[in-house]
Amino acid sequence: MKEKRSTERRETYEYWTVTETATGRRIGVVIDLTREGLRLHCEEIIPSGKLIQVTVHIDKKIAGTDKIDLELRCRWCRKTRVSHLNAVGFAIVSPSPDYLKIEQKLIDFFSTVV
């Protein structure tokens, strides 16, 4: 299968928790990221095409902030082979200014090429 992403996928060193911005409800954890999107492990099934506003909770040592707000669009969702979780691919629709400031740090220092 031909790779569709245009930038390399980076696996995170830590599993950052992701919550729904409006309610604080837990969505899942970040497993890997690219400049264009994130892959999460989620307990619930997320429909393809669904837009969600999320907050990614990170260690404040990364860039002086402990959270990043993003708007994401679900690209795909499928069951993982080894657990009850779903692997869900999201495209970043609307990155916050905070995200744009620390994006390179997340990619370079807090993840590794998969």
The whole model's pTM is what? Answer: 0.81
Question: What's the domain range around 98?
Answer: 11-108
Separation of alpha carbons 91 and 110, rounded Å:
19
Residue 4 is assigned to a structural domain of this protein: no
At 63-111, the pLDDT tens digits run 678 888 999 999 999 999 888 999 999 999 988 777 787 877 777 666 5
Tally of structural domains, the chain: 1
Residue 5 is assigned to a structural domain of this protein: no
Residue 75 is assigned to a structural domain of this protein: yes
Q: Which CATH number does the domain housing residue 70 bear?
A: 2.40.10.220
Residue 97 is assigned to a structural domain of this protein: yes
Q: What percent of the chain has pLDDT over 70?
A: 81
CB–CB of 91/72 below 8 Å? yes
The beta strands (E) that lie in 34-85 are given as 37-42, 51-57, 67-79
Q: What is the DSSP letter of 110?
A: S
Q: What is the DSSP letter of 102?
A: H
pLDDT at 11: 65
Residue 81 is assigned to a structural domain of this protein: yes
The two tokens of residue 16 are 């950052």
Q: Sorting pLDDT into bands at 50, 70 and 90, what band is 113?
A: low
CB–CB of 48/2 below 8 Å? no
Question: Please, what is the average pLDDT of the chain?
Answer: 83
